Amino acid sequence: MAVVSKKIPAPDRVGIRRALLSVSDKTGLVELARELVRRDVELVSTGGTKKAISEAGLPVIDVADVTGFPEIMDGRVKTLHPSVHGGLLAVRDDPDHVAAMEANGIAPFDLVVINLYPFEQVVAAGSDYPTTIENIDIGGPAMVRASAKNHAYVTIVTDPADYDEVIAMLAENDGCSTLDRRKAFAARAFQRTASYDAMISAYMAEQLSLPPVARHHATGGTLSLEMRYGENPHQGAGLYLTGEKRPGVATAQLLQGKALSYNNINDTDAAYELVSEFDPATPSVAIIKHANPCGVATGATLAEAYRKALACDQTSAFGGIVALNGTLDAEAAVEIVKIFTEVIIAPAVTDEAAAIVAAKKNLRLLTAGALADPRAKGLLVRSVAGGFLKQERDNVVVDDLDLKCVTKRQPTETELADMKFAFRVAKHVKSNAIVYARDGATVGIGAGQMSRVDSARIAARKAEDAAQALGLAEPLTRGCVVASDAFFPFADGLLSAVEAGARAVIQPGGSMRDEEVIAAADEHGIAMVFTGVRHFRH
C-alpha cells in the first residue's frame, strides 16, 4: 500500500547553515568548502574528505562526532546512522518530525555534497572482482537518495562540475537555496544513483554470465558528448558511455575535425563494426552512408581496398564515413581525401597520414585503438514506444559456420571466398539485404527494401550505374556472387540476381520453397550454399 503524504508545502528559500560533505573525487572540494565557511556554514565530513578540508586550514566536524560512532568495517559503515539520515530526511515544517529531531538530538543538513566510490573507473581499470565489489558505494547513494527525496529542504550535489552552480545560487540568493534549483539538483542526483546502480547490475550480469533477459533491466551511462542536435535539427541529443570495453566510435579519440554529430556517430559505429569483421591481415575498407555500406572491399593494401570500395558506388560515397581495419597510412589517406568525406576511423594512424588528413580541416579523424571483436558477446538495446527491446549482439561469423552446398554445381574456391566476403557484408546491411561481390569487393548493394526482389534489382541497377561511372562495357555483376541476409522465399529473388549476372549464391536457406529455389539455381548452373544462419538487421 502506498505511503500517505501530509502535503506540507516546500519553502522557496532555505538558508544554508549546515553542510555534509563526503566525496571520493576531491576536485574543487577545498574551493567549495572555503566559500561555505566564508558564509558561516558549518561543515561535517567523513574521513578523507574531512582530512582534505582540515589540511586547507578550514574548520570541519568529523561525522563520527555527529553519530557517536567511529567509521567501522573499512569504511563500509560511516554515515549509515539516524543522526545523519534524520538530518537529511526531516520535514522541518512537520511538528512530529521536529519533535523527533529534538528528542534524538538530530540537527538538519541544508546542503549535501557527495560523489560516489569510483565504481566505473575501477571496472574500466580491469580490477579484480573483490576490489570492484568493494567499490560499490552504499552509504553515499543512501545519503544522495535521502537528500534528493527531501529536496523540499535539502540541496544535493553529486558532481564537482556543479559546485560553481551552487556557489552562484548562494551568491544570488543571500546564502539560500531555491526550490527550483533544489528540484533540479534532486533530479540529477536520482539520475546519478540510477546510472550507478545500472552499471553495477551490468557488471554483475557480465561477470556471472546471466541470461540476457532478466526481470528488470537498467541501462546506465555517463554523458560523453552533448550534440548540437540529433537526427534532425529539432531533436536534442547526447552520447553516453556505458563502460562497455568495445573499441569503437564512442570511446575513440578524435584527432582532428569538428565534434561528431548524432548521424556521424551512428554511421561511424556501423562502419567500424563492419570493418571489424575483417581479419587485420586482410586490409579492408568500408564506406558508409545512412548506416548502410555503399562500398566494402579488401585489397593488398588499404589504399587498394579503398579504391575498390569507392568504385562500388562513387555517388553515394560522397560525404561518407570511411572505416579501415588497419593503421591508416599515407597512401590510403591520399586516396580518401580526394573526395569529400565526413569521418575516417581506423585502429591507428601514421604521422604521415595524419598530416595528409590535416589539410582537410573539417574531416574528422578518429582512432579506436583496436578493432572490435565480432565474436564477442554483448547486449543491444533499442527503444520502442512505452518500452525498449533488448537482444544479444549478432556475433555469428561466417567463417565459423558449417556451409552446405545444395546445388549440383559446387562453388569454385574464388567464388567461395567472395561468398563469405559478401555474407560478412550482408550482416551489416539493413534488411532486406542483397550484396553482389567479386574479387573481394562489393559491386552492388541493395539495402532496406521491403521486398528481397526489390533489393536484388536495386543492387543490380547500382552496379550498372557504377559500370557507367567507371566506363566499363558491362556491370561488374556479370560473373559475381550474391549474398542474401535471409532466405529467398520464392525463386524470383534468386532469378533476379541471376539476371544481374550472379553465378553463385550464399543465403541462410530454410524457406518452405527451398526445393523450388534450388531447382531454379540448378537450371541456371548456379552454385548455392546455405549458411543455416540469418543476418536480419533493422
**All three cell numbers of 66:** 555527529
Minimum distance between the CB of residue 115 and ligand FAI, rounded to whole angstroms? 6
Minimum distance between the CB of residue 243 and ligand FAI, rounded to whole angstroms? 18
Instruction: Report DSSP letters for 464-493, one per residue.
Output: HHHHHHHT-SS-TTTT-EEEESS--SSHHH
Answer yes or no whether residue 133 interacts with ligand FAI by CB under 6 A.
no
Minimum distance between the CB of residue 197 and ligand FAI, rounded to whole angstroms? 13
Applying CB under 6 A, among 30, 77, 205, 255 the residue interacting with ligand FAI is 77
Answer yes or no whether residue 79 interacts with ligand FAI by CB under 6 A.
yes
Residue whose CB is less far from ligand FAI, 49 or 407: 49
DSSP state of 289: E
Handedness of CA 257, 258, 264, 266 (dihedral sign): positive
**All three cell numbers of 215:** 526481470
- Contacts of residue 338, Cβ cutoff 8 Å, sequence gap at least 6: none
473-492 positions binding ligand FAI, by CB under 6 A? none
Judged by CB under 6 A, the stretch of 76-84, 342-350, 396-404, 441-449 that binds ligand FAI is 76-84
Residue matched to cell numbers 588499404: 302
Partners of 226 in the beta sheet? 238
Residue whose CB is less far from ligand FAI, 137 or 335: 137
**All three cell numbers of 170:** 548562494
Applying CB under 6 A, among 49, 83, 431, 432 the residue interacting with ligand FAI is 49
Coil/strand/helix, residue 405:
strand
Judged by CB under 6 A, the stretch of 21-29, 327-335, 452-460, 466-474 that binds ligand FAI is 21-29
Residue matched to cell numbers 508545502: 9
Q: Are the C-beta atoms of residues 29 and 21 closer than 8 Å to each other?
A: yes
Residues 207, 177: Cα–Cα separation, whole Å:
43
**All three cell numbers of 433:** 539485404
The 372-391 contact track toward ligand FAI, x by CB under 6 A, reads: --------------------
Instruction: With both helix axes pointing from N to C terminus, report the angle between 302-312 and 452-470 in degrees, rounded to the nearest 10.
Output: 110
Residue whose CB is less far from ligand FAI, 25 or 94: 25
Minimum distance between the CB of residue 288 and ligand FAI, rounded to whole angstroms? 42
Minimum distance between the CB of residue 25 and ligand FAI, rounded to whole angstroms? 8
Residues 526, 536: Cα–Cα separation, whole Å:
24
Answer yes or no whether residue 132 interacts with ligand FAI by CB under 6 A.
no
Q: 61, 49, 44: which is closest to 24 by C-alpha?
A: 49
Judged by CB under 6 A, the stretch of 1-9, 41-49, 283-291, 479-487 that binds ligand FAI is 41-49
Residue whose CB is less far from ligand FAI, 136 or 169: 136
3-state helix, strand, coil in the chain (%, to 5): 40, 20, 40
Residue whose CB is less far from ligand FAI, 138 or 397: 138
Answer yes or no whether residue 320 interacts with ligand FAI by CB under 6 A.
no
Residue whose CB is less far from ligand FAI, 149 or 360: 149
Phi then psi for 143, rounded to 5 degrees?
A: -70, -40
Applying CB under 6 A, among 86, 87, 108, 140 the residue interacting with ligand FAI is 140
Answer yes or no whether residue 48 interacts with ligand FAI by CB under 6 A.
yes
Minimum distance between the CB of residue 441 and ligand FAI, rounded to whole angstroms? 54
Minimum distance between the CB of residue 52 and ligand FAI, rounded to whole angstroms? 8
Residue whose CB is less far from ligand FAI, 49 or 155: 49
Judged by CB under 6 A, the stretch of 70-78, 126-134, 315-323, 331-339 that binds ligand FAI is 70-78
- Active site amino acids: 149, 290
Coil/strand/helix, residue 160:
helix
Residue matched to cell numbers 537529511: 88
Which alpha helices (H) appear in 23-137, and where do they start and end?
Answer: 29-38, 47-55, 63-67, 82-89, 95-104, 119-124, 129-134
Residues 26, 160: Cα–Cα separation, whole Å:
8
Judged by CB under 6 A, the number of residues near ligand FAI is 21
Judged by CB under 6 A, the stretch of 136-144, 273-281, 294-302, 313-321 that binds ligand FAI is 136-144
Minimum distance between the CB of residue 112 and ligand FAI, rounded to whole angstroms? 10
Applying CB under 6 A, among 11, 15, 28, 75 the residue interacting with ligand FAI is 75
Judged by CB under 6 A, the stretch of 9-17, 44-52, 191-199, 495-503 that binds ligand FAI is 44-52
User: Radius of gyration of the chain from Cα atoms?
Assistant: 30
Residue whose CB is less far from ligand FAI, 64 or 357: 64
Applying CB under 6 A, among 46, 284, 432, 455 the residue interacting with ligand FAI is 46
428-467 positions binding ligand FAI, by CB under 6 A? none
Applying CB under 6 A, among 76, 258, 375, 377 the residue interacting with ligand FAI is 76
Q: Are the C-beta atoms of residues 32 and 161 closer than 8 Å to each other?
A: no
Answer yes or no whether residue 24 interacts with ligand FAI by CB under 6 A.
yes
What is the distance between the terminal CA atoms of the chain, rounded to a whole angstrom?
42
Judged by CB under 6 A, the stretch of 77-85, 220-228, 334-342, 406-414 that binds ligand FAI is 77-85
Q: 351, 379, 386, 389: which is closest to 367 by C-alpha?
A: 351
Minimum distance between the CB of residue 198 and ligand FAI, rounded to whole angstroms? 17
Residues 282, 279: Cα–Cα separation, whole Å:
6
88-127 positions binding ligand FAI, by CB under 6 A? 114-117
List C-alpha distances in Å: 370 to 251, 270, 348, 366.
11, 16, 8, 12
Residue matched to cell numbers 575498390: 308
Q: How many CA atoms lie within 13 A of 284 on its CB side?
A: 25
Site residues, ligand FAI (CB under 6 A): 22-24, 46-49, 75-80, 114-117, 137-140
